[in-house]
Amino acid sequence: MKKLQHLAVVLLVTAGGGCRDHNLRDSAGNALKNRWLYASADGIAKIENFEPTLTMNAGEISGYTGCNHLRGDFETSGNTIKIRQKLKTSMPCRSQAAVAAELAFENLLQLVVRYEVEAGVLRLITADGKKLVMHAYVPAPRAALTGTEWKMLSAAMMPGAVGTSEMIQAHRARFEGSRFRLRQSCYEITADYSANETTVRFANVQLKQQACKERREADFTLQYLEPMFAKIDRYTISERRLSLFAGEKFQLDFDAKP
């Protein structure tokens, strides 16, 4: 479980005071309220899977900085903006490149003094002209349970613990006809399944193991993962995200592959 730490860091500082603008529009009338997806930024190198987001609504901001999640509030006056970061998770990044990119993203936010919104593009601009460019989020079509290849993103297989390791994210799943298949390099789990709009049940669960280099980690994962399929009883699909639930504390999350 990601632990929230109180930071009370002022990220964006503008000269002079400004009243909070709950209309969330700039001086040209463009809407600021949205979920914004990272596109590019001055001084941040391009790295794979670096996908920060910012969601702005009614004076509150939340987002993902590349490795961690943040929450805070913000004020606008015309095209100036002030954001206060209040909470942030404390999770390690997957690589040194990701650490550097996240730090650069946060440092750039700290220097922003104004913003522009035009044609679904948000530009956060520093006093010396550096820009952080975000694109407005456009909902994707809802993926179908069957006929889609699903990539596992995370697994809550023990109370209070969420796994996001490379071993977890190497899993691929498919629902075809009445058969379910979950595979990765060390093993394959197959089962019969039945589902309606909200519930799903698995039966005749079978495990086939094969030689691999990550045998020890695979065996550790399997001791928690395999028994879950006897307990999974419901699912949700939100756009491209599939979640399988076993009670209230156990959950597998997947993303639809393109």
Angle in degrees, CA 242, 140, 134, rounded to 5: 115
Name the one residue in this structure whose structure tokens are 């039945």.
194
- Ranges of each domain in the chain: 4-136, 149-256
Gyration radius of the chain's alpha carbons: 21
Whole-angstrom distance, CA of residue 55 vs CA of residue 49: 19
The highest-level CATH class for domain 4-136 is mainly beta
Judging by DSSP bridges, how do beta strands 241-246 and 172-176 pair with one another?
unpaired
Residue type at 178? S
Q: pLDDT value at position 159?
A: 66
The widest CA-to-CA distance across the chain, in whole angstroms, is 67
Q: Residue 186, by phi and psi: left (phi above 0), alpha (psi -120 to 50) or beta?
A: alpha
Whole-angstrom distance, CA of residue 45 vs CA of residue 81: 25
In 3D, which of 165, 63, 38, 50 has the Cα closest to residue 99?
Answer: 50
Angle in degrees, CA 90, 102, 163, rounded to 5: 45
Mean pLDDT of 57-65: 87
Question: What are 80-133's pLDDT values in tens digits?
Answer: 998 888 888 888 888 899 899 999 998 888 888 899 998 889 999 999 999 999
Decide yes or no: CATH 3.40.1180.10 for domain 149-256. Answer: no
Q: Are 78 and 46 in contact (CB under 8 A)?
A: no
Angle in degrees, CA 34, 36, 42, rounded to 5: 140
Q: Which two tokens stand for residue 62?
A: 């939340």
Distances (CA, A) of 39 to 42, 46, 105, 132, 157: 11, 10, 12, 8, 34
Query: Which has more confidence, 257 or 21?
Result: 257
Confidence of residue 75 (pLDDT cuts 50, 70, 90): confident
Q: What is the pTM of this model?
A: 0.53
Neighbours of 45 (CB within 10 A): 10
- For all residues of the chain together, what is the average pLDDT? 83
Most confident of 28-42, 137-151, 192-206: 192-206
Judge whether 4-136 and 149-256 match in fold.
Answer: yes
